[in-house]
Amino acid sequence: MTEITQIADDRPLKPALLRGWRRRCPNCGSGPMLKGYLKVRDNCSVCKEEFHHHRADDGPAYLTILLVGHLMAPMLHIAFVHWRPDPLILFTIFSVGCVALSLYLLPRLKGVIVAYQWARRMNGFGSV
């Protein structure tokens, strides 16, 4: 096998992404990746994998906006066309829905992005 194939087999992507979605260490899957709501730990408390060099930056926020917008906009249109609720009621329900969905998705997408970087050995995760 070539070196690139060995590196790709060393850190499988799908399990790492699932662990990141659960906000767990992409290496061991048991240590918490985040301390607090969005702050990434410097290293895993279980396996000591280092996370301090991750570069999630604004990626989780952009993905959250993209997903929430693409889910809520069609639902807003369907609700308005089928039921014609009072605008204040429609605004209230969809505002609460957008905020709740955003708060749910944001830390999970941050975990996914850090796990993706870890699995692909990006931004300092590549040291063997």
The model's pTM is: 0.88
pLDDT in tens, the chain (128 residues): 555 555 556 899 999 999 999 999 999 999 999 999 999 999 999 999 999 989 999 999 999 999 999 999 999 999 999 999 999 999 999 999 999 999 999 999 999 999 999 999 998 887 65
pLDDT of residue 4: 57
If phi > 0 it is left, if psi is from -120 to 50 it is alpha, else beta; for residue 2 that is beta
pLDDT of residue 2: 56
d(C-alpha 63, C-alpha 85), whole Å: 30
Cβ atoms within 10 Å of 94's Cβ, excluding its own: 16
The ranges assigned to domains in the chain are 3-119
Scanning the chain, the segments in alpha helix (DSSP H) are 3-10, 13-21, 59-83, 87-119
